Structure 1
Amino acid sequence: MSNAERTPGDTGNGPGAGGGPRRPYRPGLISGEMWNAFGTLLAGTGFWGLVGYGIDRVTGIGTVFLPVGVIVGMAASLYLVIYRATRRQ
């Protein structure tokens, strides 16, 4: 392969070469990552919201822990989405 055919990330496949060629662009890859992030946000919010709702039902206090659970779920799932996005480079 000549230097004109190499991509900037293509350093060869030999030992100690620092990795292989770059992955080809796939049109659905970004869309799939978006749906993964959306699902993580939805699942985290829903799960911790249900936990808060359950605590409210068991204690009989009212709707105190439901909003707390939703906020905790949103914060935790948002942290997880950001962590996954910044780690994937």
Structure 2
Amino acid sequence: MSDAEHTPGDAGNSSGTGGGPRRPYRPGLISGEMWSAFGTLLAGTGFWGLVGYGIDRVTGIGTVFLPVGVVVGMGAALYLVIYRAMRRQ
């Protein structure tokens, strides 16, 4: 393969690190992964925040579980984003 035929995604294919060949470069791929990570963080935080809010409303304690739900949701979503990023390498 000549230098003109290489794509940015081909860099380092022969490094011998294992894991098979890298995915070919596609324009917009990085942007799509970024929006996917942003959506995961937003959805996890929102969902568990709403769960915490619901628990607060049912128990009548006040705003105790809402912040707990937001923190748990952000942590779980961040874990998922990092897990997916590590699997793509």
Moved >6 Å (runs of 4+): none
Equivalent residue number for residue 74 of structure 2: 74
More helix by share: 2
> So what's the TM-score if we normalise by structure 1?
0.77
> RMSD between aligned alpha carbons?
2.1
Give the residue type in structure 2 aligned to 1:26: R
Q: Distance in 2 between matches of 1:35 and 1:53?
A: 26
Secondary structure in structure 2 of the residue aligned to 1:27: coil
Q: Distance in 1 between matches of 2:70 and 2:22?
A: 40
Q: Distance in 2 between matches of 1:66 and 1:22?
A: 42
In the TM superposition, residue 41 of structure 1 has moved relative to its aligned partner by: 0.1
Amino-acid identity (%)? 86
Count of paired positions: 77
Q: Distance in 2 between matches of 1:65 and 1:24?
A: 45
**2:13 maps to 1:9:** yes
Equivalent residue number for residue 57 of structure 1: 57
Secondary structure in structure 2 of the residue aligned to 1:31: helix
Cα gap change, 1:54/1:9 in structure 2, threshold over 3 Å: closer, same or farther?
A: same
- Which sections of structure 1, spanning at least 5 residues, go unmatched? 11-17
Q: Distance in 2 between matches of 1:9 and 1:30?
A: 19
Structure with greater contact order relative to length (CA < 8 Å, sep ≥ 6): 2
In the TM superposition, residue 33 of structure 1 has moved relative to its aligned partner by: 0.1
Cα gap change, 1:71/1:22 in structure 2, threshold over 3 Å: closer, same or farther?
A: closer
Equivalent residue number for residue 41 of structure 1: 41
Bigger radius of gyration: 1
Secondary structure in structure 2 of the residue aligned to 1:44: helix
> So what's the TM-score if we normalise by structure 2?
0.77
